[in-house]
Structure 1
Amino acid sequence: MNWQHFAQQIAAMARDLLEQDSVAGTLDRIAASAMELVEGCDAAGVMIMRGDQVQTLAATGQMVDESDRLQERLREGPCFDAARRRDGERFYRIADMTALHQRWPAFAAPAAELGVGSMMGILMFTDEENLGALNLYSRLPGRFTETSETAAWVLASHAAVALSSARNHAQLTEAVATRHVIGEAMGILMARHHIPENEAFNALRRYSQDHNVKLREVARQVTELGTFPRAK
C-alpha cells in the first residue's frame, strides 16, 4: 500500500464525514469509505447492540444485513462480539470463513453460504462512549491482510470521532428546537389563560405526565391548536 496516498485519502474522508448533515448520512459515508479505503473490502456496515437486540445502522448491501441477523439469531460472530466488547477486545477477524472456526463455530458455515469469504469487526469508540462495530466483508477468503487491518483501524478511529460529533450536533439541534416549541406553547397558554410563566410550564408538564405524551409533542400540539388537545 502507498501509505502517503492512503493518508491523503483518509484526510479527505475525515473532512467528508464532518461535512455530512445528519447522523444517517455520516453512518452511510463510513460504510462506503470502508469499501473505498480498505483493501479487499467488498461490503461494510455499522452494527450496534441495544440490550440483546442487534440494530444495523448502515449497510452497503444485503449480505451485511443478513450477516447481522444471523449473528443476532446465533448470539455469536465477530461483529456481534465487537459491538458487545466481549472479553474487552476491540478487533476481530476471520481470515477464511470456509475453514472450521473454533471461536464462532455456529456462525462460520451459514455465513459462508451468504457469500462471506472473510470478515473483520472493529469497535468504534471514543473516550466517552462506544459507538458500535464497523464490519467489513470480503467475498473471498484470505483477502484481509495486516495492511487491511491497519487501514480498518485508522478508518474506525476517524469514523468514531465523526459519528460522535454528528450525534452531539443532532442532540443539540433537537434540544434547541424543543426549547423553542415549548417556549412558544407557554406563551400561548400565558396569553389565553392569563397565567404566569411557571404555571404555563407546569400545565404543559402535567398534561405530558397525565397523558403519557412527550413534553415536546404536547407543546407542538398546543402551538397548532392554540390550547391542549382533547383527551381521546
Structure 2
Amino acid sequence: MTSDVPVDPTITDAFRQMSALIYAGADAGSIHQSLVDSALQLVEGCDRASLLVRTRDRYVTAASTDDIARRIDQIELEIGEGPCVDAIVSEAYQHDADLTDAKTPWPRFTERIVAETPVRSAIGYRLLLEGDKVGALNLFSDTPGGLTSTSADLGAVIASFASVALMAIRAREEAATLRQGLTSNREIGKAVGLLMAAHHISGQEAFELLRSTSQELNMKLAHVASQVIQGQESQFGPAGPAGGAKADSQV
C-alpha cells in the first residue's frame, strides 16, 4: 500500500544528498554541516540550526549554520538549561514556540537568549546512537511562533536521519581504529622478529626491550616498532638481519 500524500522533491533531494555524503566516505565535519544546512533549508521557520555532539565527557558544537546558533549552544551549556540540553536527557523533543512568553520552562535560558540574540523560538531533538544519548539537533527561529508543530514534525525526521548519520560515522571510525590496530600489531610483531634475529634473544625479551624503550622515550610502542623496522631495513634491506646472519655462517 502506498501513501497518496505527495513528497516534496526538495526534501527527497536533500536526504539523497546527505545519504550520498555518508556512503561516499565524507569526513564527519562535512556530514555534520550537511545536517544543519538541510534543517535550515527544509524546516519552515528555521533561521538557524546547530548540532551538539558528545566528545568524551562533554558536549561540543560539531556544526552550526552561523555564530548565533553556536552561541546559543554555549549559553545552554553554561547555565545547564534550555530546550536543547533538556532534549538530550528527555524522551521527547523540546519545543518552545515563543521565547518571549513569560510561561517558558527555561527562565534563565530565555532571559539570556532574548537579551543577547535575535532568536525567539527553539526546538531541541535528542540524538541516540545504539540507545546512547550522544547529542542534540537544535533549530532556532527569529520570529515568535516561527517554529510550528509542522516544523517540529519535519525537524524530528531530520533528527532521526542525523542519528543514522552519526551511527555511520562511528562505524567508520571503529573500522579505521581496527585497521590501525592491526597495522600496529603487524609492525610490533615484525620488530620483535628483527630484534630476536639481530640480538639472538627470545621473543619475550625482544618485546620487553621494545616496551622499555617505549617507556623511556615516552613514545607509543607501535612508533618504536616502526623506528626499529626502519633502522634494520636501512642497514640490512627489507630482508632484515637474517640474510646477513646466513651469509656469515657460510664464511
Instruction: Tell me which of 12, 15, 22 is aligned to 2:16.
Output: 12
SS in 1 for 2:26: coil
Aligned residues, how many? 223
Q: Which runs of 5+ in 2 are unaligned?
A: 233-251
Q: Which runs of 5+ in 1 are unaligned?
A: 227-232
- Do residues 136 (structure 1) and 150 (structure 2) align? no
Which residue identity lines up with residue 41 of structure 1 in the other structure?
C
Residues 216 and 58 from structure 1, CA distance in 2 versus in 1: closer, same or farther, beyond 3 angstroms? Answer: farther
Bigger Cα Rg:
2
- Do residues 177 (structure 1) and 180 (structure 2) align? yes
Whether the aligned pair in 1 keeps the contact of 2:188 and 2:221 (CA below 8 Å) is: no
Alpha-carbon separation, structure 1, partners of 2:103 and 2:56: 27
Which residue identity lines up with residue 175 of structure 2 in the other structure?
L
Superposed counterparts of 1:29-68, under 5 Å: 29-49=34-54, 53-68=58-73
TM-score (norm 1): 0.80
Q: Which residue of 2 aligns with 1:229?
A: none
Using the TM superposition, name which of 210-219 and 130-139 deviates more.
Answer: 210-219
Whether the aligned pair in 2 keeps the contact of 1:17 and 1:30 (CA below 8 Å) is: no
Q: Which residue of 2 aligns with 1:146?
A: 149
Residues 95 and 181 from structure 1, CA distance in 2 versus in 1: closer, same or farther, beyond 3 angstroms? Answer: same
Residues 71 and 179 from structure 1, CA distance in 2 versus in 1: closer, same or farther, beyond 3 angstroms? Answer: same
Whether the aligned pair in 2 keeps the contact of 1:54 and 1:68 (CA below 8 Å) is: no
- 1:119 shift after superposition: 1.0
What is the CA deviation profile of residues 131-184 of structure 1, one whole-angstrom value per residue up to 9, with x for unaligned ones? 310011112211111111111111111111121111111221122023213312
Alpha-carbon separation, structure 1, partners of 2:156 and 2:202: 56
Alpha-carbon separation, structure 2, partners of 1:65 and 1:225: 49
Q: Which residue of 1 aligns with 2:85?
A: 80
Root-mean-square deviation over aligned CA pairs = 3.0
What is the CA deviation profile of residues 57-108 of structure 1, one whole-angstrom value per residue up to 9, with x for unaligned ones? 111211122111111111111111222x1xx333111111222244111010
Residues 96 and 196 from structure 1, CA distance in 2 versus in 1: closer, same or farther, beyond 3 angstroms? Answer: farther
- Do residues 118 (structure 1) and 121 (structure 2) align? yes
Q: Which one has more relative contact order, counting CA pairs under 8 Å at least 6 apart?
A: 1
Alpha-carbon separation, structure 2, partners of 1:101 and 1:17: 41
Using the TM superposition, name which of 42-51 and 69-78 deviates more.
Answer: 42-51
Whether the aligned pair in 2 keeps the contact of 1:79 and 1:122 (CA below 8 Å) is: yes
Which residue identity lines up with residue 137 of structure 1 in the other structure?
F
Residues 54 and 130 from structure 1, CA distance in 2 versus in 1: closer, same or farther, beyond 3 angstroms? Answer: closer
Sequence identity percentage: 30
- 1:13 shift after superposition: 3.9
Residues 49 and 178 from structure 1, CA distance in 2 versus in 1: closer, same or farther, beyond 3 angstroms? Answer: closer
- Do residues 107 (structure 1) and 109 (structure 2) align? yes
Using the TM superposition, name which of 215-224 and 150-159 deviates more.
Answer: 215-224
Residues 13 and 202 from structure 1, CA distance in 2 versus in 1: closer, same or farther, beyond 3 angstroms? Answer: farther
Which residue identity lines up with residue 99 of structure 2 in the other structure?
M
Residues 5 and 174 from structure 1, CA distance in 2 versus in 1: closer, same or farther, beyond 3 angstroms? Answer: same
- 1:41 shift after superposition: 1.4
Residues 74 and 99 from structure 1, CA distance in 2 versus in 1: closer, same or farther, beyond 3 angstroms? Answer: same
Q: Which residue of 2 aligns with 1:167?
A: 170
Q: Spell out structure 1 runs of 4+ moving beyond 6 A.
A: 209-212
SS in 1 for 2:156: helix
Which residue identity lines up with residue 27 of structure 2 in the other structure?
S
Q: Which residue of 2 aligns with 1:230?
A: none
